[in-house]
Chains A and B, each alone.
Chain A
Amino acid sequence: MITAGIDVGSVSTKVVLLIDDEIKYLVRPTGWSPRDAGLHAYQELLDSAGCNNNDVSGVVGTGYGRISLPIIDKAVTEIHCHARGANYLVGQGGLLIDIGGQDSKAILMNERGKVVDFAMNDKCAAGTGRFLQVIAAALGVDVSELADLAENRQPLDINSMCTVFAESEVISLLAKGSDKRDIIAGIHRSVARRVWGMASRFGPAQCVIFTGGVAQNHDVRNRLSQEAGCPVIVPEISQMAGALGAALYARELKK
């Protein structure tokens, strides 16, 4: 059976085709139209897999653009899709932290990937992917460089939780002559502290499963591990957890 999951996030759109147990996937920028981004990415993946929409038994949409997709059989929130996808990838339950473009989530799941409880950040973008983008821009580096720059550096204290204020704080640290790499380390630690502050309600944990775009940053990962006081597991395709979860829901739907 072939099923699909489309995760239209605020920054990137992820699509997974689940062909029996084979996972095919694709990541594309969401841009200004969540609907088009989802549909195009889906079509592109179908083309590269050499199949068409009729071969697909079910499609589930998730992410903030989930409702705008006309082709889906069902929309499931990213909270449940991330849990299901992450559980499939790591084969265990526990505490899942997902940091996406605009929000961060702490999800407690059972050993089958069912959500037991969850918390999500409020209004502001502090500690999310967007937060890291803003800081990277202020420091004149690319987001992909952040992890290497900060590795093994001594983190400076960053006290502002608000993205805009943190940016000002970073700029004033630069003005004082602080090392850029220590500033980034400080930013990473503040991201880790903030998300663990939210997740620790469900702790202490044996280990933390970490997904979403920010999980690609190995320095944030290490610092999260320090805050949580336990190992952090990042699945290889951590960014795909939501889309994969959606494809798994689609499979269940059609069983």
Chain B
Amino acid sequence: MRPESMKIFDELRNLNVLTVQNAKREGKKVVGCYCTYTPQELILASGASPVTLCGTRQEPIPAAERDLPRNLCPLIKSSYGFAVTAKCPYFEAADVLVAETTCDGKKKMYELMSKIKPMHVMNLPQGPKGEEALVAWAKEMNILKDWLAEKFEVEITEADIRKAIKLMNRERSAMRNLHATTKVKPAPITGVDLLVSVWTKGFNINKEDGITLVEQLTAEIEELTAKGISPFTNETPRILLTGCPVGFGSEKVVRLLEESGASVVAFENCSGYKALDRLVDESENKDVMVALAEKYLNIPCSCMTPNEGRFDLINKMAKEYQVDAIVDLTWQACHTYNIEAYAIRDYVQNQLSLPYMHLETDYSESDVEQLRVRVQAFLELIQGE
């Protein structure tokens, strides 16, 4: 049985657009973001609303390929395609954009995109370790703060930032609880539903309403669990998905896994749990920018070198979510995740002793049947045929 609240999330996709447009009409500023490295706290503290931008669908990719190379990651092409075709309502609503230098493809694409809307790009350190990286990233926080203050002609106080940190931590906690609902065996909801709810939430600029909605969904899922209701059985193989971000429109691998008889219970990727694992330190005596820098710098994305945090997080989640296997998804031409897959395979097979499969694909449907063979063969393998 599907939770009733999921219907609200299904409708939220349309509702989110109206919410953004209404906010704009009321004079609210909107800041478009692409990545979990964006410190939403600073945007909230400036009085503006952060909103995720579209980038998980195939449709605008041909338009993007007029300007961008074809053998580029579909996420970059889709994001850019939405921008140039004016098909993403959130992009259209955004007054300014904030992005980060997470990869070479994105940072060069942002140069082109910045001709469409005012954009600030934060220089992300190459690695999470060392005092220099933290100092540099804290400085980037200050530069962003000043940029927002100037753009929106506001003063951003420390109190504003502290308030925003509390709000964002509440949101993260609510999202963490939502993710945690699938720790039970069998999971009470499908991975596709979990993904849809987490994803649509990102486009909701109304933070308080969003938190309430997520809490409502979580409570309802917990009721299902208490009644022992689940779309799966105790024998259904439980999968942890890691790798590149997955969103609505690019959920084909999650769908294939579940159509083939698995249950995707954990999303380690940044569109899932990765950025929720750590909260921002709320201590009053802590420098607020350092607190933000610490949190965001420690997101274990493959753009970081070294990226040991990802191994630890996979290990922790594999245990907490009682997974039977790990699937690592790389979007075509995402070099960092693609190369890191080698080390992840070794770690998963040899340290965690779990079956592992790496898939490289794009948003198109062109290889679905081939992927289906690999997914089904992988499930046959972990089920002992």
Q: Which residues of A contact B (CB under 8 A)?
A: 64, 76-80, 103, 114-118, 120, 122-123, 249
Contacts and interface: CB of A to CB of B under 8 A. Distances in A.
Contacts of B284: none
B374 interface: yes
Interface string B126-168: 0000000000000000000000000000000000000000000
A117 B354 CA distance: 12
Interface of B: 360-361, 366-367, 369-370, 373-374, 376-377, 380-381, 384-385
A211 B376 CA distance: 21
B385 A80 contact: yes
12 contacts: A64-B373, A76-B380, A77-B377, A79-B374, A103-B373, A115-B377, A118-B377, A118-B381, A120-B373, A123-B361, A123-B366, A123-B367
Given A76-B380, A118-B374, 20 more contacts: A64-B369, A77-B377, A77-B380, A78-B373, A78-B377, A79-B377, A79-B380, A103-B370, A103-B373, A114-B384, A114-B385, A115-B377, A116-B381, A118-B377, A118-B381, A120-B373, A122-B367, A123-B366, A123-B367, A123-B370
Contacts of A64: 369, 373
A118 B377 CA distance: 9
A115 B384 CA distance: 9
Contact of B373 (A79, A114, A116, A123): A79
Nearest to A63: B373
Contacts of A80: 377, 380-381, 385
Nearest to B358: A119
B385 A76 contact: yes
B381 A115 contact: yes
Contacts, number: 43
Contacts of B370: 103, 120, 122-123
Most buried by B among A64, A115, A116, A123: A123
A80 B380 CA distance: 8
A122 B361 CA distance: 8
A249 to B, nearest CB: 8
Q: Is the interface of A mostly helix, strand, loop or mixed?
A: mixed
Most buried by B among A76, A117, A249: A117
A118 B381 CA distance: 9
Contacts of B380: 76-77, 79-80, 115
Contacts of B377: 77-80, 115, 118, 120
A93 to B, nearest CB: 15
Contact of A77 (B361, B367, B376): B376
Contacts of B367: 122-123
Contacts of B384: 114
A188 to B, nearest CB: 24
Nearest to B375: A77
Nearest to A122: B360
Contacts of A116: 381
A120 B381 CA distance: 14
Shortest 3 CB-CB contacts between residues of A and residues of B:
A79-B377, A77-B377, A77-B376
Contacts of A123: 361, 366-367, 370
A78 B380 CA distance: 11
A103 B385 CA distance: 22
Given A114-B385, A118-B381, A122-B360, A77 B373 contact: yes
A129 B88 CA distance: 43
Given A64-B369, A76-B380, A79-B380, A120 B385 contact: no
Nearest to B373: A77
B374 A120 contact: yes
B331 to A, nearest CB: 13
A175 to B, nearest CB: 27
A116 B385 CA distance: 11
A114 B377 CA distance: 12
A222 B360 CA distance: 31
A125 to B, nearest CB: 11
A157 B262 CA distance: 44
Nearest to B374: A120
Contacts of A79: 373-374, 377, 380
A64 B385 CA distance: 18
A199 to B, nearest CB: 15
Nearest to A79: B377
A118 B382 CA distance: 12
A118 B376 CA distance: 12
A254 to B, nearest CB: 15
A103 B369 CA distance: 12
A120 B369 CA distance: 13
Nearest to A114: B385
A1 to B, nearest CB: 19
